[in-house]
């Protein structure tokens, strides 16, 4: 049973909005594009593992995707946690392209791509640390943790996995996502003691879901050229900014495309970059809408909540605004 689903990360949404509205001639744009590309690849890798995990019989397990649990002044993150009556299993997914060379002796993962060598943190070590943090978290809540297991899923089907020192731990714990159905059963043979009832598993899941804090980075700390970010509503067809609202619809002067709801995406971008509130005046400036009554109508067309009277009204994204 999937107890916690994976959501499209807010961090990626924020980066998408920033990249969309970054001044194209600013050299720093490439840095944000690179980060967005990396985060999207990671998310894609997680989704690939989810897909293969959904194919196996998981009726006796509880699966929790994407946990971020506060511990002391930081957080520990788990891509996928599987609770079974006998053991807990942590799976970290990596979507690295290229040739991946595992060198556990020095806790290194070397990636070679287009003749460039890069060092990544040892993902097996990462999952071990996650396991010990999870145990400490459970202990703090007076729960004795069952044995934990950890795996590293390589989701990029094109990457080449190498284990030059024939390390047993690497061949045991690193696998291709498509192979997950064959990776889990051996753990049932290794851990045979029934330790968690269905209720115990539910209780742990609830505890973790309650403690979970999703990552919402603050664009204010990202050194953005706020005064140069592109404003206006974007054409959904040719991506030109500054399309014009007239007679109940947006019209693009570049390509002629018409849209009734192009302001939705623009308002999403605004909330993601500037924070989750907007006044009617800010809305008019950002959307380049002159008329207060048009702005009012457009604001009313979206699932927003608001505070205050008509004049000083502040609008906030409603519960399902980003869905
Ligand atoms: Zn257009």
- pLDDT digit string, tens, across residues 78-125: 999 999 999 999 999 999 999 999 998 889 999 999 999 999 999 999
> Ligand 1: distance of its center to the CA of 248 in Å?
17
Q: Nearest to residue 158, comparing CAs of 48, 80, 78? A: 48
Structure tokens belonging to residue 51: 């897909």
Q: Quick check: 92 and 177 in contact, CB under 8 A? A: no
Distances (CA, A) of 82 to 4, 117, 150, 182: 11, 33, 10, 15
CA 33 to ligand 1 center in whole angstroms: 23
Please name which of 38, 7, 8, 19 lies closest in space to residue 273, comparing C-alpha atoms: 19
Distance, in Å, from the CA atom of 198 to the CA atom of 3, rounded to the nearest integer, reads 12
For the cut 90, the answer to whether the pLDDT of residue 312 exceeds it is no
Cα-to-centroid distance, 243 and ligand 1 (Å): 8
Domains, the chain: 2-211 (no CATH), 231-317 (1.10.10)
- Look-up of token digits 């991946």: 100
> 60 alpha carbon to ligand 1 midpoint, in Å?
51
Low-confidence winner among 16-25, 65-74, 192-201, 302-311 (lowest mean pLDDT): 302-311
The HSE-up count of residue 215 (CA atoms within 13 Å, CB side) is 20
pTM: 0.89
Residue 235 alpha carbon to ligand 1 centre in Å: 5
240-293 pLDDT tens trace: 999 999 999 999 999 999 999 999 999 999 999 999 999 999 999 999 999 999
What pLDDT band is residue 195 in, cutting at 50, 70 and 90?
very high
Residue 21 has pLDDT above 90, yes or no: yes
29-55 vs 10-21: helix crossing angle, rounded to 10: 150
Q: How confident is the model at residue 308 (pLDDT cuts 50, 70, 90)?
A: confident
Question: Which of 112, 149, 14, 7 lies closest to 66 in space, CA to CA?
Answer: 7
By DSSP bridging, strand 160-162 and strand 99-103 are parallel
Residue with tokens 């978290």: 137
From residue 286, give the alpha-carbon distance in Å to each of 169, 174, 227, 234. 54, 48, 12, 11
CA of 260 to the centre of ligand 1 (A): 13
């Amino acid at each position: 049973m999937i107890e916690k689903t994976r959501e499209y990360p807010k961090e990626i949404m924020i980066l998408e909005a920033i990249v969309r509205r970054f001044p194209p001639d600013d050299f720093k744009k490439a840095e944000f594009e690179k980060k967005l590309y990396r985060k999207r690849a990671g998310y894609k890798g997680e989704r690939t593992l989810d897909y293969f995990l959904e194919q196996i019989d998981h009726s006796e397990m509880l699966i929790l995707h994407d946990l971020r649990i506060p511990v002391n002044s930081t957080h520990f993150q788990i891509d996928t946690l599987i609770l079974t009556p006998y053991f807990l299993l942590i799976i970290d997914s990596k979507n690295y392209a290229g040739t991946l060379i595992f060198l556990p002796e020095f806790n290194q993962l070397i990636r070679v791509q287009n003749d460039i060598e890069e060092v990544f943190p040892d993902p097996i070590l990462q999952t071990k640390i996650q396991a010990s943090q999870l145990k400490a978290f459970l202990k703090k809540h007076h729960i004795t943790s069952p044995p934990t297991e950890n795996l590293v899923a390589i989701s990029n089907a094109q990457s080449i996995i190498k284990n030059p020192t024939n390390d047993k731990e690497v061949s045991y714990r690193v696998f291709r996502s498509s192979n997950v159905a064959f990776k889990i059963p051996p753990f049932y043979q290794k851990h045979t003691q029934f330790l968690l009832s269905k209720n115990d598993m539910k209780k742990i899941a609830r505890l973790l879901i309650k403690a979970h804090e999703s990552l919402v980075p603050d664009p204010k700390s990202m050194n953005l050229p706020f005064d140069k970010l592109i404003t206006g509503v974007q054409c959904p067809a040719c991506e030109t900014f500054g399309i014009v609202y007239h007679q109940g619809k947006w019209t693009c002067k570049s390509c002629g495309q018409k849209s009734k709801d192009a302001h939705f995406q623009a308002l999403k971008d605004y909330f993601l970059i500037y924070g989750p509130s907007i006044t009617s005046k800010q809305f008019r400036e950002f959307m380049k809408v002159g008329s207060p009554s048009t702005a009012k109508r457009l604001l009313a067309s979206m699932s927003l909540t608001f505070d205050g009277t008509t004049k000083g009204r502040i609008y906030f994204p409603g519960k399902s605004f980003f869905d």
